[in-house]
Amino acid sequence: MNKERLLERFLQYVKIDSTADDQSQSVPSTPGQLEIGRLLVEQMLAMGISDAAQDEFGIVMGTVLGNCEAPVVAFNSHVDTSPDAAGKDVKPNVIRNFDGKDVVLSGDSSKVITAAACAELASAEGKTIITTDGTTLLGGDDKAGVAIIMELANHLLETPDLKHGPVRIVFTCDEEIGRGVDHVDISKLDATVCYNFDSGGRNLIDTETFSADLGLITCTGINIHPSIGKDRMVNAVRAVGHFVESLPKDVSPERTDKREGFLHPYSIVGDVSSATLKILLRDFDSEKLREYEQLLRETAQQTESAVPGAKVDVEIRKQYRNMGDGLVAEPRATAIAQQAHQQLGREAELTIVRGGTDGSRLTELGLPTPNLSSGQHNIHSVLEWACLDEMVEACEVGVEIVKLWGKEE
């Protein structure tokens, strides 16, 4: 594996602003995603992936041809970064032979990555890490995964004696805003299994994610000048406030962890005449989402009674489902990933994700897609950092995976 080439690619990718925008109706949501996709196609063509192409939706696909009869294995990462923090003018800092101590970020000394808040930091001692300068995201989620797959593909092409079947590469857009797989043609991928490099640290195999829906609560009132509002005004702001206050406090992100689900009100927009509330519905048990939906509808009725004249509508939009529900259909997907770690003298930890990935949607669509480590840490934060050595380890896992699938004739 070419460690310095991997680093060079990663630094090149994070400097391209590909922040997703959930307010945009374009596909992909921002032009930077098309820019990085074009670069990836150019690089794939240059390394010898002759079918590399970007479609009208920004999705990039290409194939490393196999040299034996074996199932098609796909690898996936997303090119967009989270809108939770700025992704423009990223200035990555490379720290070689890291001392394992707290890192004061160069662009804002008030921003410090501490071992106290991030236990993985100390374990990176002696390794190479990449941080932000404290003013933007780094973009390791998921450009670490993108760089890993590109180096993995390059390595396979440079080692023709390594036996493997066809390896399909797919880079998606807008994963961070829940649209990553909307335009992926599963039949075109034509793969038996896919692996998504989009998890943290090292030696993790995510085999379950939340199941997820979005609740849109619209409170409609009657606006009139407050001087003549008595018995005539119906305040939608008060209605939405009552709705939020009526939600159970113990079913929230602040008070749940591990396998516990939650309701998460996270956005309110509106005025006296109309106010809209957005709520995330999350649980590992897909059926539990129906209970949450019923609770929201009951809360809407209670709010209409508490705020006479108000009208409260509840709309539920399906988002994604627990990848664990679909992985049972292809047990080799996880088993071979575990075996790949064993081949390298490592022990993989099977983990759950209190969130979702492209793997959730791909698995739901019929393509089993566990999620693998890619050296990301402190994601969605200006305190984000990535470990180059862990990215190299992820490449090595990918190589072992294609070798093992190459024996599944």
Question: Which residues participate in catalysis according to the annotation?
Answer: 80, 175
Going by their DSSP bridges, the two strands 129-131 and 93-95 should be labelled as antiparallel
Q: Which residue has the tokens 């930890």?
A: 349
- Rounded-to-integer distance, Cα 169 and Cα 157, Å: 13
Query: How far is the CA of 305 from the CAs of 296, 299, 302, 314, 337, in angstroms?
Result: 14, 10, 5, 15, 54
Q: Contacts from 294-302 at CB under 8 Å and sequence distance 24+?
A: 295/247, 295/248, 295/263, 296/215, 296/217, 296/263, 299/243, 299/246, 299/247, 300/217, 300/243, 302/246
DSSP class of 267:
E
- Rounded-to-integer distance, Cα 35 and Cα 81, Å: 13
Q: Which residue has the tokens 């374990």?
A: 123
Tokens of 346: 């490592």
Tokens of 353: 């994700």
Q: Which residue has the tokens 């590469």?
A: 169
Contacts of 81 (CB under 8 A, 6+ apart): 18, 19, 20, 87, 137, 139, 141, 142, 143, 176
Nearest C-alpha neighbor of 261 from the set 219, 208, 304:
208
**350 contacts 282 by C-beta, under 8 angstroms:** no
Task: Map residue 168 onto helix, strand or coil.
Answer: strand
- Rounded-to-integer distance, Cα 373 and Cα 249, Å: 33
Contacts of 31 (CB under 8 A, 6+ apart): none
Contacts of 91 (CB under 8 A, 6+ apart): 106, 107, 132, 133, 135, 136
Tokens of 228: 């003549």
